[in-house]
Structure 1
């Protein structure tokens, strides 16, 4: 029995999603990855890359009348959020060798083996990833939620499946990129899971799902080629807010300490450049880089190629 990883990819996050795949496949054994392709370009390019340990799922395989209605009503990002628990439930029900299913956002990247997370939480049905906001961003918890839905894991047991079904039903009912009556996207619902379902657990493994919301708590160092934060190995970093402008330029929605740029962001951007080259070798896909007008006020970072 295996732990399956689910990723939702669109052409707008394709390069980052491929980088995520390579990071996982490089450091993990006995791996099963499931990728939901939201558009034809994504499915076509991933098929050409011949990704090992990976099952590609076309969006048409899971869409039904209800979802197609939501697709019309919701913008693309909110529709992808809606699909998170839908896709997780689809995979865990269809693939009988999967006993735990873990969703990861396509803008995440693994620097070290995530198995300690699952060893620590082995007996729990639901693993939740706290934002652990810095003091200056603590006010976001009441808006965006205590937990980050970019990393969430469900065990194939009664509590896990019931919690996943409950989350799916809530997301189908309402899931938008805005705050409304205590809701925000797919994420704010997670605040209630522990009060409704037993056997849930806050991930406490150090170095998990670090992002701009908590990076102020950490200092980075490189030891024997590995990234450490506060003297523990970084497992995964969530590059939320990073936007590709070109092969040489990215935009950050928030500033970072110099060591984060040096130790985490620059190596990641170099990986993205290699991914771009791989894709261009097999396709005319132009990258769909974000228009700079969409990131006005962001910090533009230029990397030497």
Structure 2
């Protein structure tokens, strides 16, 4: 991907993600997809381990601010850390990280959008925010395919892998409430109407003002809602049915090695050529580039984690 030099990107809008070393390959792919499609962007990355921060420092990524996890860990958070698995801890830190950015860069950042590292932009996302400028919180609905609607009861109406907050009183109050809920309970299981950091999102529209569903189509498409999507290319962009694909969420994809990427969720096989294979090509290029910078860096998923799980090998 070549990065365009001219952009109408809002310099007061930032993106952020949380990375462990096992998500670095996907995180860099996400970064490149955003820079390519938006032209430029301000991106904050919370580095959950020393290896991640050291490597990304060496990559000297344009527009990126690296934040070590120690910068947001206080005594109370460290107590919570002892009780959570790494994925649960990362979920717990989402609202903490968002609050940190809005407080620390208050004069610069007017909106911050969190994106999960296993996502990819396929076109400029600015239309999302231009369309709903007055919304303090923007939530992305799962919009489950009919065969998966039963999942909503446990996993929730909304997906927390793409969520955006204005730096105003509504946005900050919502964030602080979400942080407090996650401090109290954030685990990788469904229990008493809760699931990770995600089910809490359903309560936000009832408690706070200007909490909106994202109305722009093509945002946070994933295995939960792509079943009936037919891809086509128009003017070099991917469309699913009649809607431009803005952000696809590759939830369930695991990178075992450079030549072995597997999927532990079902997905629409029609999307392989125009969605999955281009993404895999970017991932492979990222792995190759990182190997040149640090041959000893190892960010592959442990194959043992696939035991007992149905998975499909993706070959490009």
TM-score by length of 2: 0.93
Q: State the Cα deviation string for residues 43-75 of structure 1 (Å, max 9, x = none).
A: 011000000111000011110001111111100
Partner of 1:189: 200
Say whether residues 1:122 and 2:101 are aligned partners.
Answer: no
Q: Is the 8 A contact 1:222 1:228 kept in 2?
A: yes
- Cα contact 1:129–1:209 (8 A) shared by 2: yes
Corresponding residue number in structure 2 for 1:213: 224
Is this contact kept in 2: 1:147–1:187, CA < 8 A?
A: yes
1:34-183 to structure 2, matched below 5 A, reads: 34-95=44-105, 96-183=107-194
Name the CA distance, whole Å, in 1 between partners of 2:268 and 2:40.
36
Hey, what's the Cα distance between the residues in 1 that align with 2:291 and 2:122? 25
**How many Å separate the matches in 1 of 2:15 and 2:39?**
13
SS state at 1:35 partner: strand
Q: Distance in 1 between matches of 2:147 and 2:32?
A: 34
Secondary structure of the equivalent of 2:204? helix
Structure 2: stretches of 5+ with no match in the other structure: 1-10
Inter-partner Cα distance in structure 1 for 2:137 and 2:91: 18
1:288 aligns with 2:300: yes
Between the two proteins, the alignment pairs up a number of residues equal to 304
Q: What TM-score does the superposition give when structure 1 sets the normalisation length?
A: 0.96
> In structure 2, how many angstroms separate the alpha carbons of the residues matched to 1:143 and 1:293?
22
* SS of aligned partner of 1:98: coil
Structure 1 gap segments, 5+ residues each: none
The structural deviation recorded for 1:255 is 3.0
For 1:30 and 1:16, how far apart are their aligned partners in 2?
A: 19
Aligned mate of 2:250, from 225, 234, 239: 239
State the 1:223 CA deviation: 2.2
Paired with 1:212 and 1:99, the residues of 2 have a C-alpha distance of 32
Secondary structure, aligned partner of 2:284: helix
